[in-house]
Structure 1
């Protein structure tokens, strides 16, 4: 997309508006996702073509170059996010295990509405009908700082160890299902050149941020 004249004028004055920041974040984030997906496609295409899952030879360093661009855009995103404060912490469920509950177990009644499946059968040894419920229990998590900028939301990953540092500052942890993140057509994005200039301004520290 063409850089709005207002954005260029603001940049000259050292001003970053919330919408400017949002557009630059969106551009960096989506470009990173594009390169992330491209790298995955390269690897999957090779493995499908040669029937060798788990083995991949980046002969021309194409995947390495794509990953380098991905990391560059993620780095730009991280710098831009330093302008604002996170709204909360998102806890993404990344893995589950299935737990069995017999109808005689403590906790069966508590979880009866949450069972993924229920097996009913006759126990000939005990001479009675029994039920066994299967509960999907989250066991693995990923954590992200959630930012809200200019009507958009952005996630920045953090370690589980870092979560406590942010909760002590008052941030709430909100559990979410798996994130679905995708790239988009670059013609709809602010140019890389402009986004880099805004990143450089943020790094200089000599800017004024104007929230909506």
Structure 2
């Protein structure tokens, strides 16, 4: 984890579990999805333009060649990630692979938890492709 990013938006995010979702789904608005660790399912959303502006928060991860974001509520940003700096941004920017080629957020969380637990042995060998099972 690198930081929490705060983006001012002029759109409203509607999730697939909300009644309004299908009113805007496949109507030309920006759509995407993410993996919800708590519900253990993919959540789809659509961003619908609005006249009002609000803050949205994202946990920003960055490695040597890649970066990605995980949506957060304002409460999560202020409580669970209060030790991270909040960076104000104009728009989300990521680098690297397409989302379909990335490790899942639940894998990343398990890996982070494993590292925090110190219950692992790190073996560095540039000639071996390591596969980690958690």
Name the TM tier (shorter chain).
0.3 to 0.5
As a proportion of its length, which structure holds more helix?
1
TM-score, length basis structure 1: 0.27
Q: Which has the higher contact order (CA 8 A, sep 6+)?
A: 1
As a proportion of its length, which structure holds more strand?
2
